[in-house]
Amino acid sequence: MDKILIIGACGQLGTELTLKLRELKGTENVIASDLLDEPVELLSGGPYEKLNILNKESFQIILEEHNITQVYHLAAVLSAKGEQNPHFAWQLNMDSLLTVLEAGKDKLQKIYWPSSIAVFGPDTPKENTPQNTIMSPNTVYGISKLAGERWCEYYHEKYGVDVRSLRYPGLIGYKALPGGGTTDYAVDIFHKAIAGEKYDCFLSENSMLPMMYMDDAVKATIELMETAPENVKVRSSYNLSAMSFSPKEIAEEIKKHYPNFEITYHPDFRQKIADSWPGSIDDSAARNNWGWQHSHGLTELVEVMIENLKETIVFD
Ligand code: VAH
């Protein structure tokens, strides 16, 4: 029986991945962990451990106490926050990954670690960005994710560690808020529109970025982790894609539901980050190697987000 530890379980992706894994594997077999004293409400129905993954001893104790066989290591400082605290972002993103990879040598059967389209940079081909191409990230987050991909492939080839990874686009869900990313506008915009408020976007209207509905990201993650090892032909990290849109395009789609919704654009420091990333991604390797298929495009995304958020947000 798999015993899974999720590090960073209370984050935007972690919350949803924990819920889905508990549904599939049994609540008691999925231990959530994060820096908080108590888990977020949505995760309060299952086992939780307070964990600072930079504390190696605490991590080892949890592995032993729960007989953990798999780790999903999601804790990281994202792109925008990383630029405000570069050295800490590098320390957390890198030291924690190496701690988990070391455990993969003799204690863990499988490891999942998320990468990002942030590994690409200004010199990368912008459209239909290939799996293997020029990678010149110019954010600490992107640099740490590129270095992390190299470490993952190194530990697999040198020590046989079964570590698997996906280069996520911007992730959009309604169960948990994002924290410190450049694509967070694509979640914020729904909360404003549904509350009847104007949204002031921190990116310019034509900033085209790869995006994905959270359920698709969770599905891809679990499918990658569950597929047979021989199907995992990329041990750095797989490109993953569903759709691309600009702030103007998602605003237009939202206006089909909220005709009076207004958006303004005041780009801030995150515009330079967004400009360094691709506009669209070629994920044919994931589709060919382990059968990846996305299910939500922009129309379906807007419908499902509004359907679920309007129950919880009061319209002014
Ligand atoms: C960020 N949401 O904005 C993350 C993600 C592709 C973007 O890695 O930093």
Integer angstrom CA distances of residue 111 from 8, 104, 147, 291, 306? 14, 7, 17, 20, 34
Distance 16 CA to ligand 1 centre (A): 16
| pLDDT given at position 311 | 85
Contact of 308 with 174, CB cutoff 8 Å: yes
Element (H, E) at 18: helix 12-25
HSE-CB at 184 with a 13 A cutoff on CA atoms is: 16
**Phi, psi at 116, each rounded to 5°:** -160, 160
Q: Which residues are tagged catalytic?
A: 141
Alpha helix stretches (DSSP H) within 110-263: 140-159, 185-194, 214-226, 247-255
**Ramachandran sector of residue 224 (left: φ over 0; alpha: ψ -120 to 50; beta: rest):** alpha
> Which tokens belong to 13?
């992706």
Question: Model's pTM, two decimal places?
Answer: 0.97
| pLDDT given at position 305 | 98
Per-residue pLDDT of the chain (316 residues; tens, 9 = 90+): 899 999 999 999 999 999 999 999 999 999 999 999 999 999 999 999 999 999 999 999 999 999 999 999 999 999 999 999 999 999 999 999 999 999 999 999 999 999 999 999 999 999 999 999 999 999 999 999 999 999 999 999 999 999 999 999 999 999 999 989 999 999 999 999 999 999 999 999 999 999 999 999 999 999 999 999 999 999 999 999 999 999 999 999 999 999 999 999 999 999 999 999 999 999 999 999 999 999 999 999 999 999 999 988 776 6
Task: Ligand 1: list residues with CB < 6 Å.
Answer: 78-79, 116-118, 141, 168-170, 178, 181-183
Pocket test for ligand 1, best of 16, 77, 79, 149 (most atoms within 8 A of CB): 79
> What domains sit in the chain, N to C, each tagged with a CATH number?
4-169+214-239 (3.40.50.720), 172-211+243-309 (3.90.25.10)
Smallest CA separation from ligand 1 atom 1, residue? 181
Pocket test for ligand 1, best of 168, 208, 221, 239 (most atoms within 8 A of CB): 168
Element (H, E) at 167: strand 166-168
